[in-house]
């Protein structure tokens, strides 16, 4: 470029667009509907963030408080603070219209696609902890929380492998309260559904996933 000369507006615009294209090769171009559908199906059930990380690493990035050890007193205070009328969803219910919208939002997934999405997120870190205890003490239970086994419409986390109809659910209080509003009501509903088919069910929250409590509860 000659000193003192000036580029025309057209030339400047061409250079600007050329630089932008280097950054974004899709500038001014659009994916076809067919291409979009292929990409959607290719990524169905896969996490769209933190690729390459293990489930535990991903959990800790999303929930940093898992790295902090809370005292039993603190856990009980948090639990009490969110119980009953203190819970944000206490006494509230989804309207029929809202339930319909939720149903429609998931209706386009096939059973296989839903199963694939469940498998990509399981087992959770809490389920893995329970699984380690099962293996270490050779307890007669296996993991089925990936959707591979159902009782009625429900998918338990673990089931007995010695022909006894015993199912196990492990859960985090915070997330169950957040989703259902009342943990005891959730337990009661699931217990009744399982009982119809002759199944007993045990529940373990995050404070109960330890060797002594599990062995005592399962009477090993």
Per-residue pLDDT of the chain (220 residues; tens, 9 = 90+): 555 566 787 887 777 776 665 556 666 677 788 888 888 777 665 555 445 555 455 444 445 554 566 777 887 787 777 777 777 677 777 788 877 777 776 666 666 665 555 555 678 889 999 999 999 999 999 999 988 899 888 999 999 999 899 999 999 988 888 888 889 999 999 999 999 999 999 999 999 999 999 999 987 6
Long-range CB contacts for residues 7-13, cutoff 8 Å, separation at least 24? none
Predicted local confidence at residue 59, as pLDDT:
47
pLDDT of residue 22: 59
pLDDT, tens only, 155-166: 999 999 998 999
Beta bridge mates, 141: 160
Among candidate residues 59, 53, 44, 96, the one with its CA nearest the CA of residue 175: 59
Q: Which residues contact 171 (CB under 8 A, 6 or more apart)?
A: 126, 183, 203, 204, 205, 206
pLDDT at site 5: 60
**CA separation (Å) from 143 to 14, 59, 137, 155, 168?**
60, 19, 15, 11, 9
Q: Please spell the DSSP secondary structure of 18-48, one letter per residue.
A: HHHHHH-TTTT----HHHHHHHHHHTTTS-S
Residue-wise over 174-188: b if at least 16 C-beta within 10 A, else e?
bebbeeebbbeebbe
pLDDT at position 158 is 96
Q: Spell out the domain ranges in the chain.
A: 9-42, 55-217
DSSP single-letter state for residue 171: E
Q: What is the pLDDT of residue 42?
A: 76
Name which of 186, 160, 159 is nearest 172 in CA terms.
Answer: 186
CATH topology of domain 55-217: Endonuclease; Chain A (3.40.960)
> Mean of the per-residue pLDDT values for the chain?
78
Q: Rounded to whole angstroms, how far apart are CA atoms 76 and 206?
A: 12
Q: How far, in Å, CA of 159 to CA of 190, rounded?
A: 14
Q: What confidence score (pLDDT) does residue 157 get?
A: 94
Do residues 51 and 44 touch, judged by C-beta distance below 8 A? no
The per-residue pLDDT for 138 is: 92
């Amino acid at each position: 470029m000659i000193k003192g000369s000036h580029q025309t507006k057209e030339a400047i615009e061409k250079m600007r667009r050329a630089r932008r294209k280097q950054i974004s090769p899709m500038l001014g171009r659009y994916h076809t509907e067919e291409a979009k559908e292929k990409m959607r199906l290719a990524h169905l059930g896969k996490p769209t963030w933190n690729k390459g990380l293990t489930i535990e690493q991903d959990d800790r990035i999303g929930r940093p408080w898992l790295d902090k050890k809370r005292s039993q007193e603190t856990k009980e205070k948090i639990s009490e603070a969110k119980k009953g009328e203190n819970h944000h969803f206490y006494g509230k219910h989804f309207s029929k219209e809202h339930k319909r919208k939720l149903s429609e939002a998931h209706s386009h997934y096939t059973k296989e696609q839903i199963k694939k999405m469940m498998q990509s997120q399981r087992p959770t870190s809490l389920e893995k902890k329970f699984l380690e205890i099962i293996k270490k003490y050779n307890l007669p239970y296996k993991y089925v929380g990936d959707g591979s086994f159902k009782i009625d419409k429900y998918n338990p986390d673990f089931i007995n492998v010695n022909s006894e109809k015993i199912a196990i659910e492990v859960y985090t209080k915070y997330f169950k309260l957040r989703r259902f509003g009342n943990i005891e009501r959730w337990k009661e509903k699931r217990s009744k559904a399982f009982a119809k088919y002759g199944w007993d069910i045990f529940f373990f929250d995050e404070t109960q996933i330890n060797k002594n409590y599990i062995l005592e509860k399962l009477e090993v």
